[in-house]
Amino acid sequence: MKNSSNNKWNNTLLKYKQKNLEIISLSKSIRYVGIINYHGRTLDGKIKSGIKPLFSPNQVCNEFFAIATSIKLREKSLSAIGKSNYIVLNHKKVTILLFYNNKIMYYITFDPNQIPNKLLIQKIKNITTVA
């Protein structure tokens, strides 16, 4: 029984790795793709080759926890405003695109001033919503 659970979890992680690779290959302006659980823990992450991370490991933990907490706090208001399609956070050094689906968050960063267009957003959304 335990072996079956491990196999299922390993298959899920493999699926996340495949999604990350698929997303990061969509655009040269994508720096990083991470998949985060409901508690802000990284399930898989992929930084594009040659890109220097902006966060230290401790900052990454804090960022993902803050994002997960923010998403959880907003859940009760969704009945009034509707489910979130995606969130764009534009910073001086990076643009962040967030998708939330079934308690899993996709955290995608782009080069500064590279706001993803609707076509790219739709392609990413299609990847993130496939089971």
Whole-model pTM? 0.90
Confidence of residue 131 (pLDDT cuts 50, 70, 90): low
- The model's pLDDT over 38-70, given as tens digits with 9 standing for 90+, comes to 999 999 999 999 999 999 999 999 999 999 999
pLDDT at 76: 80
At position 7, the amino acid (one-letter code) is N
Cβ partners under 8 Å of residue 39, min gap 6: 65, 68
Question: Which CA distances in Å does 81 have to 71, 125, 129?
Answer: 14, 20, 20
Domains of the chain with CATH codes: 2-129 (3.30.450.30)
Tokens of 92: 């001086």
Sign, Cα dihedral of 47, 39, 103, 69: negative
